Chain A
Amino acid sequence: MGATWVYAEVTPDGAHPSALELLTKARGLGGEVAAVALGPGASSTAKELGEHGATMVYASDDQAFADRPGRTAAHTLHALAGQHSPSLILFPGTYEGRDVAGCLQALTGSTLMANATDVESSSRARTEILGGTKIVDVNLAGPEPRLVLVRPKSFPPEPSGGTAEVVAVDAVTPPGATATVVERHAEAASGPKLEEANVVIAGGRGLGGPEPFAMLDDLAAAIGGAAVGASRAAVDAGWVPYAYQVGQTGKTVKPDVYIAAGISGALQHVVGMKGAKRIVAINKDADAPILKIADLGVVGDLFQIVPALTEEVRRRASS
């Protein structure tokens, strides 16, 4: 098969971890592996990308990629692909990955598969549907390059020890209108919105007061991309504001992981979080209804488990 490209998202801290995961996978597909890194700091990611298997890195540090996201990258990628004819381009399943791939599809008319959990070749990939209960193998057809968006963390990144040749590319200015970033706001302190977080950590009556919510905040910070919620009991008790409430009369959340700490699991609450892909419940009461719907139920003292978990998450992140 022809070359596999990886769209390497560039962050202020270097290459997005997904790029390394995708490169690791791309190495195993046969054919050449190249990465495309576009945006300020792109060229400095080349070393890392090379170490993970890219023999070539098409890079541009142009601010335009950051200021006019999506289209600028898609049009540049379109031009590059026109010159080099890769068979397959792998994208991370991030907001940016989706935007660039989606836009590129309009330009190339090629197939675009989303939510892939594995990639076999440029003509076959795999996904999971119906809450992960069914595995679907999908045949990809149509003009190349075929585009596949892969769920983050589908493959563990493994360095290959290689080096990449860096090819500087020019940003293509797309015709027509492009949205422009005028302000950037980091909200690290408050984290993402409850409805949009990948991980929700919710506290209930078992927390016993407002102070232990700080413990949940710590865990959320350690995980990253996590938000803190609460059951109605905790909100009614005045420990946290109503905006935290998950449930029938509060917010409905559908995170990848929902951690219920000290929540018994009354129907009122369950209605708001049953759409979570995985549910972890920590409760000292072995009869708590929440344990029945939890994928992983922990019967124990949340005041020991939550801080220990925070430590463990930090330890794994740094190792």
Chain B
Amino acid sequence: MNVTVLAKFVPNPTGTPSLGPDNLLIRDAGDGALDPGDEYGLELALQLVEAGGGEVTVVSMGPAEALAGVQRGLAMGAHRGVLVTDASLRGADALVTARVLAAAVGRIDYDLVIAGVESTDGYTGTMPATLAELLGVAAVTAVRKLEPDGDDFRAERQTESGYDVLTAPKPALITVTAGATQPRYPSLKGIMAAKSKPVETVSAADLGVSDLTPTQTVAAVTDAPAKAGGEIVTGDDAVARIADLLADAKVI
């Protein structure tokens, strides 16, 4: 079974990201990393091919620095990588991303495409479903467990009240949750081996994708009113204050 894993290179996932003068996220500050949310999918992919044979391909779209994210995937054990990098892709929205990735993924033989549920920087969470439709394959999102089952996959999908079990014929696309796997830490042997694994760097033009016009543009960025953060309460209204915060956070 061949698995293609989508890997996003994100700005320092634990730091405070910042916006450039063009109101786009600064993506080349030199402290980027593979999106931690993508490591769960990589781990699942590796487990699947370790159990059933085949190859794992890491596909990423991003600045030239994103090569580091691809290499992280290769160090974990993926077999080869594809990096789509193109100055014209800066500021690409989810639709452009999906189109580019569809073209990149479509050139590879795969039984399964795996993505994270949402990225750590943009947390849009819609791109994989768009991509699946563009690829013409079945999609199961928010998967916490996946098993190949003959010509199908059997997936446990996280729901708000529990989980559903779905079957999807191969080839398929899934997104995996943080609870799905425990990503491995690449060994040094893996890091060394990664250096000799093939990585193909392509541009949008190489992939034949021409319409790169984003349909969303930032009109204005303003500072949010400072949160009342750091407030300490002691009195009788403490309970009401917590309940207010829960309501404000839109969880009750």
Contact = CB atoms under 8 A, between A and B. Distances in A.
* A–B direct touch in complex (beta carbons closer than 8 A): yes
B125 A98 contact: yes
Contacts, number: 252
A101 B126 contact: yes
A120 B234 CA distance: 40
A128 B247 contact: no
Contacts of A188: 161-162
A296 interface: yes
Contacts of B177: 193, 195-196
A134 B130 contact: no
B144 A193 contact: yes
Given A101-B126, A177-B138, A95 B234 contact: no
Contacts of A88: none
Interface stretch (B47-55, B82-90, B220-228): B220-228
Interface in A110-164: 110-115, 124, 128, 130-142, 149, 151-154
B212 interface: no
Contacts of A128: 224
Considering residues B134, B230, B251, which has the most beta carbons from chain A within 10 angstroms of its beta carbon? B251
Contact of A199 (B98, B161, B246): B246
B250 A185 contact: no
Given A102-B130, A294-B230, A299-B232, A257 B238 contact: no
Interface stretch (B70-78, B166-174, B185-193, B195-203): B166-174
A295 B231 contact: yes
B241 to A, nearest CB: 6
A309 interface: yes
A214 to B, nearest CB: 19
A106 B98 CA distance: 8
Given A296-B233, A296-B241, A316-B252, A181 B224 contact: no
Interface of B: 16-19, 23, 93-95, 98, 122-134, 136-142, 144, 154-155, 158-169, 172, 177-179, 215-224, 227-234, 238-243, 245-247, 249-252
For the complex of A and B, the 7 pairs showing the least CB-CB separation, nearest first, are: A102-B129, A153-B250, A106-B133, A111-B215, A102-B126, A187-B162, A142-B215
8 contacts: A105-B94, A176-B136, A177-B136, A177-B168, A184-B164, A291-B232, A295-B231, A298-B242
